[in-house]
Structures are given as C-alpha cells and as structure tokens.
Structure 1
Amino acid sequence: MPDHDPEELDSFAAILTQLLPGTWTRELRQHTAHDDQFFLTADVWDMNRVADALAQHPLKQDVILTSDDGRRLFLMDHPRYEDEFVVAAMAPADTHAEAFRGVPEPDGITIPADPEQAADAITANLLPRYEAARAQVQDNALRITRLSAPPAALVMTWTESGDLTASTDRADVADILTAHGFVYDPGQQTYIASGDDTAHQAQCVRTAGAALGALNIGVTLRHAPHRGTPTTTPLPAPRPTAPNTVRSR
C-alpha cells in the first residue's frame, strides 16, 4: 500500500478542513498494530471500496475529519495509487443498531491529491448521500427511543357535571386533545370534553386515545376523588418489544 508520509496526509486534511462547507477539525491517527485498525475503523460507513481496502491492506495512518454539527469523515491513503486518497462517511456514534436498518450505506469515494478538486468531489458526491443517510438514521433512532420508553399516561377525570377534563403541559398532547373535541379552559388550565352530549364525549375519548397511543401515551379514566373511591379504567399504549442494541450494517 503506497502510504504517504503522515505529515503529507495531515497537511492534505488540514487544507480540506478549510475548503469543505461548514467548520471542520482533523485528527491524525497512526496505527502500530494491524489488529487495532478493525476496532478503530468500525464506524466507517461503507460496504464498498473503503471496506475492501481496510480488509485487504494494513492501515498505517488515517485522519478523522469532524464538523461542528457532528458529521465525521474518514480519510486514508489510496491502497494502490499515490496521487489519490479515499474518503468515507462515518456512522453516527452511540446510535441504536436498529436505527441503521434499511438505510443505504453512503459508500466512500476516491479523491485526487489536489485539495480543491477533492473538496469539490466530497461536497458534490459524498456529503449529500451522507447527510440523507444520517438524517434517516437519526429519525429512526428517535422513533425507537420513543417506542421503547415506558409508556406515559394521561389522566382524564369526570367532574360532577359529567364533563371530562384532562391537564397536560405537552404541546403535542394539547394539540391532540383540541383536534379531537376537547376545549381548553384557561381559567382551570384544563381541556374539557363536555358531558352535554355523551355520545360525542365518548367519541372524543376514543379518537384522542388512539392518537395518544401513537405517541406511546396511555389514557386513564377516573372519577373525581370526592365522588367516592376512585375507579380507574386504564387504556394502555402499545408496548413494543425492545430491539437489539448491537449495530449491524
């Protein structure tokens, strides 16, 4: 493998940090043991030429470029050509393995040793695919976190007049309540489904409960305490099975 001098690789990376969009820093890493590279490069987000190069050639050095918004790029010498480098995206760190399911790898590219041409190729070719994949993984991770969290519960209470009231400080829950027939009372700071029409009230509870269930929020119905011993009817949110926590691409 025609490795460049470490200072040459680092200097090339330093110029790239100035040419790539955004703010980037760099870290030159030198490897003395071949076995270490598999641990140190585990987050390289590539199943194509970069993965093949890492599997077939001992890695003596690389550079990690990190942007201020958390993106990371892996830069290494080309395994065959001295006038080229190889660059790849790095997968988001500390992210649930299941979040990567179905997300295409933003495979790396070969870039010339000319920093300006290299920066143009990275910006036009690699970064758009990287950002799209990264956004999809982040959305998946957020959904997994929400679904695997213990379900919350919203208490709806019948008043003496037969109205059904609920209180929340979450904007998304408030939006669901108002969208499904509950009316906000600023004096009591509660959301009310009037008991004047019990059929409509029941429909409000059913539709709001279904929408809240999509947020992993259950609904509990209860009578006001002064009406006697409280009775509760829980309507639990779905409890999904906790997924595997080992990332597999």
Structure 2
Amino acid sequence: MYDHENSERLASYADIVAGELPGTWTSTYHSPEDKDDLAELTDRAWDLDLIAASLAEHPLQHAATLSRSDGAQLVVLDRHDDHGGFLIAAVAPRALPDEAYRAVREPNGIALTDDPFLGAETVAGDLLARYDTALAQVRHNLLGGVQPSQPERVVLTWQHDGSLAAAPVGEQAAEVLAANGFVQDQSGIYRLSGDDTQAQARAVRETGHQLDAHGIGTAVQHPSGRIAPTATPAVPPASAATGTPASRTR
C-alpha cells in the first residue's frame, strides 16, 4: 500500500541533503510505480555491508537518488529498524566490465539520522570521499596508465603522445582542470594536449596554483613511475614529455 506520508518524508529529506552537499546536486524521488528504476538501483547499490543487508531483507518500495553534475549518484532509502533515520549508498557506474572494479574497495553506505543537515555533513565527511576515490580507481582500471587521484591530490599522468591525463576526484578539481584547458573524454578522464609544450607548461602551473588555493595538491606521474611531490608541478622539457609512462566485484 502506498504510504504518502512516508514518501514525502523521504523525498523532502533527500532534497535537503542534496542542497547541503558540496558541489551541485539534484534529487529525484522514485515512487513504488517506478519499478524498473528501483530494480536498477537495487542492482547498482555499491555496497557489501549495511545497505546490501537491508536490501536483502527489505526490497526497495521507494527511494531517492542524488545526482551530481559530473554523473556521480547516491541513493537514499528507508532504514528498517528501531533507530530511525535513513540509509544512503553510492551508486556504481552503469554497464562496466568486471575488470573495471579490480582491487577497488566498495564505498559501503552509511546510516543517517533524521536531521538532514547533520546527514549531509556526515555524507560529505565520509561517504563522498570514499566514493570519489573508488570512482577514480575504476576510471584508472578502465584506462590503464592514468594514475588515480585522491580527494586531496590530483595526479597528472604523462601519456605516450606527450599529453597529460588525470582522473580528478570531486567537482572542484574537475572544474579547475576544465578551466585550464583539460578536456573531459567519454570515460571521464581529463586530458591536456602536448602539441604546444609551452602552453601545456603554463596550463599545468596555473592548474597547480588554483588547486592549491582549494587545498588540493598536484603531482605529476613521470615516465619512471615516480610521482613528483609538488603542489605546483613544472612540466619537463618536450623531449621528456614524449617518454613512455609507467604503468568490483559487486
């Protein structure tokens, strides 16, 4: 039986959380009539712990998805115990091969209190960081040779053609890369052409300065496989830029 009051409670909670999370998020409510959406969310919930156990005992009757502008998604669902509140889990990317999840730890979901403002703080300080790291690792597995970034550091990896590639973690890092000439491809990797090495060097230095202003470090993955520990990397000469870079189961 459709519980109108309970549906409004979950939808309202998700709306507030979406508005309080860092970056740009939107909220979408899925009613019991949205059977296909609910089945897909059940399958894509990126969790092998609390949320997986809940879904095994209580199939989704309704839910809300929080969607970030870069495509990341979270799902909010009811908590079926005496503690009240809600559960929230990361949503795995669609239709990726099993090897994409190789050695990627599940960003297991968490329980939230009835207070959506406190809930948003908990998500931002816990689940989001683990989710963004897992997404970067998945991208790295899909496109070998691009070192995964971390929430506190963006790694720029040299490519065979002298370009640089990065899998940023978080919307802020992605915006800085895009503003400095990095172009996002269909896989979510950001790439900076090496056709003009002087322009490339200027772009990388400016990227480093801007990321540093947001408390995010920058490192360059050199062909040797060593990461340069610098927040504002300098690009090596063109001859070095053409070197050969080192190299889920749900």
TM category (shorter chain) comes to 0.5 to 0.7
CA deviation vs aligned residue, 1:5-60 (integer Å, no higher than 9, x gap): 11111111111111000000111112259898444421110000101111111321
Aligned residue number for residue 8 of structure 2: 7
Matched residues in 1 for 2:20 and 2:245: separation?
A: 47
Alignment partners' CA distance in 1, 2:73 and 2:32: 19
Task: Tell me how far apart the structure 2 counterparts of residues 73 and 125 of structure 1 sit (CA, whole Å).
Answer: 13
Stretches of structure 1 lacking an aligned partner (at least 5 in a row): 146-168, 176-210, 216-246
Query: 1:110-129 alignment to 2 at 5 Å?
Result: 110-129=111-130
Q: In structure 2, what is the Cα distance between the partners aligned to 1:9 and 1:81?
A: 17
In structure 2, distance between residues paired with 1:51 and 1:5: 22
Q: In structure 1, how many angstroms separate the alpha carbons of the residues matched to 2:123 and 2:48?
A: 18
Aligned partner of 2:25 in structure 1 is 24
Query: What's the CA shift for 1:128?
Result: 1.0
Q: Find the structure with the greater CA-based Rg.
A: 1
Check conservation: 2:30, 2:37, Cα contact below 8 A. no
Measure, in 2, the Cα distance between the counterparts of 1:91 and 1:36.
14
Aligned-residue Cα RMSD (Å) equals 3.3
State the 1:82 CA deviation.
Answer: 6.6
Matched with 2:78 is: 77
Match in the other structure for 2:50: 49
Hey, what's the Cα distance between the residues in 2 that align with 1:214 and 1:114? Answer: 47
Paired residue for 1:171, among 150, 162, 166? 162
Greater fraction of residues in strand: 1
Q: 2:133 & 2:112 partners in 1: Cα distance? A: 21
Counting aligned pairs with the same residue, the percent is: 37
The answer to whether the Cα contact below 8 Å between 1:99 and 1:144 also exists between their aligned partners in 2 is no
- SS in structure 1 at match of 2:125: helix
Separation (CA, whole Å) in 2 of partners of 1:131 and 1:14? 21
Q: What SS class does the counterpart of residue 53 from structure 1 fall into?
A: helix
How much does 1:71 deviate? 1.2
